[in-house]
Structure 1
């Protein structure tokens, strides 16, 4: 009995100036990543008017990652949708303050000097629990991502990294929202990561992982949120004669250091058909 090899088609459309889309069609899926120039002044004015808050310093509002199946399942990842989840209530500046009171007060005061003319309050760290945009229903599940399968040595049919926004928090740290995805013959995996560093205050990472094993009828989404005091993370730096703090800008290293005992974790599943 001979096995049938499923062919894939790579996609490369558009231009860097107007927006370039790369992706793959494989096993009933179309997986696309569009990268466009940073938002211009018109884009910023329009987006800021819709969101009602100042935008991150670097916003790629026309970038998009899209996973779609021929049976109708779709999920998108876009900066605007992520920023819509930024807290704009009157309590927006107090959530972090509870755990990091003295340090947060100083950073907040410095930052709000930059935004004192803003009409409504907002969380200037741009923290977002965004997990993608989809009309398909996800429900709580005990199913987990097959980590062992992801560790197997498989050829990568398509790989991509995309940035949705970045801000240096008025020189107080950094906040970024990025995607990374890879497609292998047996499955695909996407990581949407919000990474926050507020110097001398805290680190926070909100991760959304999307996983599908080809041949199954469902897609798994795992969301986790974890944080730790800045000094606690810094104390874990390798001991060297001259302290190298460059690791504090590496989300992968920071993620490996952040404690998991208090993290928020949600597993969900959606049917493709």
Structure 2
């Protein structure tokens, strides 16, 4: 799914920019945009208790609740990526914890019976214990006219992103991560890169439940300098653990270095 929002008319595109580095925040100012990535330590015990009480669920083992990635245009358009709003979208319905267990019951219980059957009760909880979230960012724009809407007329320019243009700014930010009681991993991360002609953001939720499934929710945000639109594309992929592991090997290369 793709959607688009409109900003104020931009100035002519140039490579002029200013890098930003202030304590735990890095970023870039370019073409009437300010892009910031803030990284700090995981939440302390008091912050964890407050966040868990507010969300109504236990939060992931490693929760970087004060981390964020933000993009802001001088027109007032602003898009942020944070952990707690993402966790607020985790399913807390009465049967949410059973969804994966029901769909893959045989694989799940076969695996558990070989290891520690009692451990299943530690995993299955009254919420989506995989922390799966289709969060695609928080629109904090000053105007309702800057909200995203579905479009079939525009798409992210993949060919432009493939060009070997210089990267003026790049950063990766972890929002949360959990090892699912040693049964896999769930992680939400952001990546941003800024080139002289455009910027591109990838927000990815990645889930692996061992011997059960793989799941990826991706949000891509793209803006070409010199235009007045921001594109956002959301996609999802899921496959069983067994089928993914069975994918054919694409070949390997063996290299050697000789020590004299």
Contact 2:71 2:80 in 1 (8 A): yes
User: In 1, distance between residues paired with 2:136 and 2:14?
Assistant: 33
Pick one of 224, 230, 233 that aligns with 2:235: 224
Residue 162 of structure 1: which of 167, 173, 183 is its match?
173
Contact 2:43-2:65 within 8 A present in 1 as well? yes
- Please point out which of 121, 130, 139 is paired with 1:125: 130
Which residues in structure 2 correspond to 1:202-221 (within 5 Å)? 202-221=213-232
Superimposed CA distance per residue, residues 145-178 of structure 1 (whole angstroms, 9 cap, x where no aligned partner)? 1000000110000000000000000000000000
Structure possessing the higher relative contact order (Cα contacts under 8 Å, 6 or more residues apart): 2
> TM-score, length-normalised on structure 2?
0.83
1:140 corresponding residue in structure 2: 150
TM-score (norm 1): 0.79
Is the alpha carbon distance of 1:82 and 1:105 closer, same or farther for their aligned partners in structure 2, counting shifts above 3 Å? farther
SS in 2 for 1:130: coil
Superposition CA RMSD, Å: 2.3
Q: Equivalent residue for 1:253?
A: none
Q: Tell me the alpha carbon deviations over residues 184-204 of structure 1, each in whole angstroms, 9 at most, x when there is no partner.
A: 000000000000000000000
Q: 1:219 deviation in Å?
A: 0.4
| Compared CA separation, residues 11 and 106, structure 1 to 2 (3 A) | farther
Residues 78 and 106 of structure 1, relative CA distance in 2, 3 Å threshold? farther
* Partner residue, 1:86: 90
CA shift in 2, pair 1:203/1:4, >3 Å:
closer
Unaligned runs of 5+ in 1: 15-19, 241-273
